[in-house]
Structure 1
Amino acid sequence: MGHKVEGDGMPKDAAVDEFAGLVRTLKARDGRSYEALGRRLSVSASTLHRYCSGATVPEEFAVIDRLARLCGANEEERRALQAAWTEAERARRRAASPAPPPVPAMSAAQESNPEPSRRNQAPDPSAPDLSAPEAPRARPRRGAPAPLLVTAAVALVVLALAALLGHPTRRASAPAPASPPPERTAASLPFTWSIGSQLWEGGCGHTYLAPRAVAAPPVAADAGAWAGTHGAVHGGEALVRITVQGRSQSDAVVLHALHVRVVDRAAPLLWNAYRMDDGCGGAVTPRHFAVDLDRPRPLARPVDGLDASGAEVRKIPAVSFPYKVTSSDPEELLVFARTAACDCRWYLELEWSAGGRTGTVRITDGGKPFRTSGAKGRPAYVHDSAEGRWITDSDSGQTG
């Protein structure tokens, strides 16, 4: 599959071109502006424009599927659109592969003596003592098991008994960290759900904390791979989008409430802050749930959105529970979780009912809690694209 080079020097895959063309066709058929469609999709006009131009491929198909429904696409067109998105997403992942940060150059002393001195290091108890001669090993008598084999067999029996009896082998003085209970099987739910956990505000700005130097910032669609490569976590704020869709057109699923559960709190990370900002912005602030992770019992508080794309600022009413979803009428719940005082690990719980059944589904980040750390006062950096390097942000004291 061929590639072409765009004006910014980045290669663009033909599959991305094909997907973007289908999205443009949908948008042209509907006739509404980017702002008007963006309001219905809870994305900014600039983000929707990136989808149409091929500058960005969305991480999830749900937002494009909803666009297709809004624009009157039939089932066959939606299947073709999903197939095109799948190929474009694969192309995006192939092109992502961020380069690892450069390795610092060695000093002249290190080059002349690359092996570090070990005089002041504590000995490794697991390493063999090469300074002493090896003692002769006693050969076991024929028919009698070697002491090492006996010890190993006993250890295996102890471990097997511990597993059967449900007794952990770790000491009581070192309990395992708190974590959510096991999730229910998604197939048993009368609806499907998916998340986006690496969102940037307005599709443009975000702050990450990282334990070491990082490569140049990615586009928003590649943020997950970039953050994973550098071990980065959300700094000050995390945006999570939950897309919920019923499995049936006729049988609605009722969403009753969204709860926040914090499973671990620690002091904010003492890492550098790296700000992602490509200078874009949108005139639409989507409705969302605001979460203050610093409260003893955080709540998901519904907040109105704002549309400033026209002559007047228009309010977008917040999601009001209970709320119904079907296969043709999905819902997107956007969560803004903020903290200044902790390194928090947290997850969400969504209450639902359908057809006489009730339940709670846990919303996590791929089976793990979301992680957000306060970033206020940390050394902050922005990327100078002209010089190709990170520079100190003059507003670093305001990072929060």
Structure 2
Amino acid sequence: MDGFAALLRELKQRSGLSYEALAKRAHMSTSTLHRYCKGEGVPADYAVLSRFARLCRATPEELVELHRRWVLADAARERGRRATTDPASASATDLAPDPAPASASDLAPAPETAPPPSSADEPVVTPTPRPPLLRTARKRWIPIAAAVAVVVAVSTALVLDPKDWGAQPTAKTRPTGTGTVTASAPAPHPSGSSSASPSERSSSSLAPASEKPAAKAPAPGTSPTRTTHPTPAVPLTVSTRTYGWDDPQCEAKYLINRPPAQVAPPVMGQDVPGWVTAHGAVAADEQRVALTVQGTGDETVVIESLHVVVVDSGAPPAWNAYLGSSGCGGGVETRSFDTDLDAVHPVIVPKAGQRGFPYKVSRSDPEVLYITAHADAHDVRWYADLQWNSGGRQGTIRISDHGIPFRTSGSRGRPVYEYLVGGTHWYRNAEN
């Protein structure tokens, strides 16, 4: 956070402009800019910082460094927010061990419905059809099962035979404070059947598949102990900006199924996603996606590759095209890639002069990857798969537009409307 604020102050001092003048040109309040420069706040979107830095005539290297420090400061702010909103530790109730199973006599049905005890030398006769007893027992057991899952799971096995109920007993899970899931009932038998009695189950059936069986079975009448080893978390995070134009003047073209009179004036920066959603707009001709990749720990994570996954490809919609700006500079960021969505098998390739994969990231050394997807003759829905490895582990993270595919479409032959800076309405581009 301190390094982020220090760089902002350095840029501000070098600009020779006052806080008020810079804030007005960067479209923020003077007090907000003061807080950023003092390290008392971090903007949620990088676009406002990009405007500020360009007003201060920051060099390309300083822009990259400012973005890196913003990523770190934003991550630190998020960790601080979680620390203040989430409990430091689980309550005593959450962390206390599950209550010991109640005895069969505690939870057995009432005397009028329970059969009288028989002597040891008398054979036990269980009538096969028992519908009335089952209906009564089920009504009495359901509230108990909802209240104490563990007690029901054990007591059901002791008092009632699950196969007589006509349904599989279920196990409840609850999340712990670390995000892992712990089962509150014994694990089912590997065969998938839960009708076996406790004496018929070996101790190995209660252990996770990745663990070795217990040395010996638990003593009768005791609750078996099971140690869970949750799958380690993915060692990196990916933050996605679907419309990753860092220069606020670089507004892309969009296809919208509306006449010009029903399309609001274009917006910039962090307001673009809301504008796109409100109009049902589709990125036209090209779409720029920005990925901020950062490790979650001190260990190095290697980003091996990025692959395009096409979900659907068809003819472009016959909609109007809207261009919010007359264009912007042609700067190329350090980690920039292109992909042609019209190709049979689109691939992600580094732009001219850029170095390709692999890259390395950690918590203190993030990377920002820019993907520019091009489409001319098709309307394409697509994902990107990021492959990583770290410390002998490997995996794939699917990159999407907040859970849905990205959508990029060609706009060839469609009427184009522009909205000039300072204008009041959309006008038809005479060349299209």
Report the TM-score, using the length of structure 1 for normalisation. Answer: 0.54
> Hey, what's the Cα distance between the residues in 2 that align with 1:6 and 1:281?
22
Q: What residue in structure 1 maps to residue 64 of structure 2?
A: 40
Q: Secondary structure at the match of 1:226?
A: helix
Give the drift of 1:219. 1.4
Q: What residue in structure 1 maps to residue 288 of structure 2?
A: 239
> Hey, what's the Cα distance between the residues in 1 that align with 2:397 and 2:420?
43
Map 1:133-172 to 2 at 5 A: none
Q: What residue in structure 1 maps to residue 306 of structure 2?
A: 258
The yes-or-no answer on 1:379 pairing with 2:415 is yes
Map 1:35-184 to 2 at 5 A: 35-38=59-62, 40=64, 64-66=69-71, 79=77
Q: What residue in structure 2 maps to residue 297 of structure 1?
A: 345
CA spacing shift, 1:387–1:244, aligned 2, 3 Å? closer
Q: What residue in structure 2 maps to residue 102 of structure 1?
A: none
Greater Cα radius of gyration, structure 1 or 2: 2
Q: What residue in structure 1 maps to residue 428 of structure 2?
A: 392
Q: What residue in structure 2 maps to residue 281 of structure 1?
A: 329
Instruction: Choose from 20, 33, 39 the match for 1:17.
Output: 33
Q: Secondary structure at the match of 1:389?
A: coil
CA spacing shift, 1:12–1:285, aligned 2, 3 Å? closer
Q: Deviations over 1:49-98 (max 9, x none)?
A: xxxxxxxxxxxxx75524869xxxxx9xx649998xxxxxxxxxxxxxxx
| Larger strand fraction of residues | 1
The yes-or-no answer on 1:270 pairing with 2:315 is no
Instruction: Choose from 228, 239, 242 the match for 1:194.
Output: 239
> Hey, what's the Cα distance between the residues in 1 that align with 2:29 and 2:277?
24
> Hey, what's the Cα distance between the residues in 2 that align with 1:222 and 1:262?
27
> Hey, what's the Cα distance between the residues in 1 that align with 2:62 and 2:27?
27
Q: Secondary structure at the match of 2:419?
A: strand
Q: What residue in structure 2 maps to residue 330 of structure 1?
A: 366
> Hey, what's the Cα distance between the residues in 1 that align with 2:281 and 2:231?
29
Q: Deviations over 1:305-326 (max 9, x none)?
A: xxxxxxxxxxxx5243222111
The yes-or-no answer on 1:358 pairing with 2:394 is yes
Give the drift of 1:336. 0.5
> Hey, what's the Cα distance between the residues in 2 that align with 1:222 and 1:328?
29
Q: Secondary structure at the match of 2:267?
A: coil
Q: Is the 8 A contact 1:202 1:282 kept in 2?
A: no
> Hey, what's the Cα distance between the residues in 2 that align with 1:214 and 1:8?
27
> Hey, what's the Cα distance between the residues in 2 that align with 1:198 and 1:208?
11
Q: Is the 8 A contact 1:202 1:285 kept in 2?
A: no
> Hey, what's the Cα distance between the residues in 1 that align with 2:276 and 2:383?
19
Give the drift of 1:258. 0.6
Structure 2, unaligned stretches of length 5 or more?
1-19, 43-48, 82-229
Q: Is the 8 A contact 2:324 2:420 kept in 1?
A: no
Q: What residue in structure 2 maps to residue 230 of structure 1?
A: 279
Report the TM-score, using the length of structure 2 for normalisation. Answer: 0.50
Give the drift of 1:38. 4.8
Q: Using CA pairs below 8 Å that are at least 6 residues apart, which structure has the higher relative contact order? A: 1
The yes-or-no answer on 1:210 pairing with 2:226 is no
Structure 1, unaligned stretches of length 5 or more?
42-47, 49-61, 70-74, 84-184, 305-316
The yes-or-no answer on 1:370 pairing with 2:431 is no
> Hey, what's the Cα distance between the residues in 2 that align with 1:388 and 1:186?
56
> Hey, what's the Cα distance between the residues in 2 that align with 1:361 and 1:81?
22
How many positions carry a matched residue from both structures?
251
Q: Is the 8 A contact 2:23 2:29 kept in 1?
A: no
> Hey, what's the Cα distance between the residues in 1 that align with 2:27 and 2:305?
44
Q: What residue in structure 1 maps to residue 178 of structure 2?
A: none
Q: Secondary structure at the match of 1:34?
A: coil
Q: Secondary structure at the match of 1:17?
A: helix
Q: Is the 8 A contact 2:289 2:370 kept in 1?
A: yes
